[in-house]
Amino acid sequence: MTNHSMEFIMAGRRQRRRRWILVTSLLAVLACLLCCAMLLLGNTIYPIQDVIRALSGEQIKGVSFAVSTIRLPRMLAGLFAGFAFGVAGFTFQTMLRNPLANPNVIGITSGSSAAAVFCIVILHANGAVVSLAAVIAGLATVLFIYVLSRGKVFSIGRLILIGIGIQAMLDAVISYLLLVSSEKDVPSALRWLTGSLNGSQLQELPPLVITVIICSPIVIMLSKHLIILELGEQTASSLGVDTDKTRIALIVSSVCMVAIATATTGPIAFVSFLAGPIAKRLVGAGSSNALPAGLVGVNLVLAADLIGQFAFEYRFPVGIITGLLGAPYLIFLLIRMNRKGEL
């Protein structure tokens, strides 16, 4: 390889690095602005200095309750859940080399939601019990789908189709649980069908925050191996990647984040589906996009929640808005993949 070729390759790497830093920084700044908007905006718009004083612990009539009890938990739930959905969606799409292979489409969030609804309407449980059940159900759903999709030769297409079938079955289970539940449990259970930040409470957030803090660095650190896994099993092994251990670590970390986020906010539709492709379009191919995908997820959730609160005459849960954004893209993607013969 000539010196000119080496210089050309290095220049390309520097350009991609600068683009990654610029896009990631802009996404982080936008996320900070949306977090501020979540704290400032509501039925009453408070001055930023009053919000800062309330967050620092000073008691201000009206402001302290609205900011600390309502707006801050809502903002933190959207922040951490959006990041979890974004990172997990990107991980599955990249690892399985298919844009449909995300937690929404292949039934993982439905498994967590079914477990959460069962705990709410049958066991009348909440808090840690719901979170634990959601994680176990999410992992069990992944394992079940993987076992069914193996056959003689593992097929990503078969995994996606089985996942869609499992999702439909679990959605039917959720509908049945709602039918047999008491009226007082229905409002809480419906949260798991649409995804909502309404009613978020600070005491419910530690499992989500801790899970994201622990699991997201694991995924981000392994994201360089994730890019190699996208090249195929044999290529990744020849380049020195322990594919089995890497895949297990990525799956367990991603499923834990998705399950806990689902147990906290409900399955906010299509965030994990949209975050990865948007991040890839912004940053470009050949880069580690786990962190940008997480930030895209944060921006999608917070922006959709603000739109749902203030853009219409009636207030809509965040999952309704993200569903309106994601459903047309899913239909477009299915049509395009069918034309290419990828389904």
pLDDT tens series, the chain, 343 aa: 565 566 655 666 777 788 888 999 999 999 999 999 999 988 888 888 888 888 888 788 878 888 888 899 999 999 999 999 999 999 888 887 777 777 777 778 888 888 888 888 888 877 678 778 888 888 888 888 888 877 666 667 787 788 888 888 988 988 888 888 777 777 777 766 778 888 788 888 888 999 999 999 999 888 877 777 666 666 666 666 666 778 788 888 888 898 888 888 888 878 888 888 888 888 876 667 889 999 999 999 999 999 998 888 888 888 888 888 887 877 877 777 667 665 5
Angle CA(222)–CA(228)–CA(231) in degrees, nearest 5? 145
308 falls within a domain = yes
What's the pLDDT at 56? 83
The parent domain of residue 68 ranges over: 22-339
CATH code of residue 291 = 1.10.3470.10
230 falls within a domain = yes
10 falls within a domain = no
7 falls within a domain = no
Contact at 8 Å (CB) between 276 and 326? no
How many domains, the chain? Answer: 1
What's the pLDDT at 153? 61
Task: Indicate yes or no: pTM above 0.75.
Answer: yes
For residue 85, CA distances in Å to 35, 45, 69, 132 come to 17, 29, 24, 18
What's the pLDDT at 46? 83
2 falls within a domain = no
75 falls within a domain = yes
What's the pLDDT at 121? 84
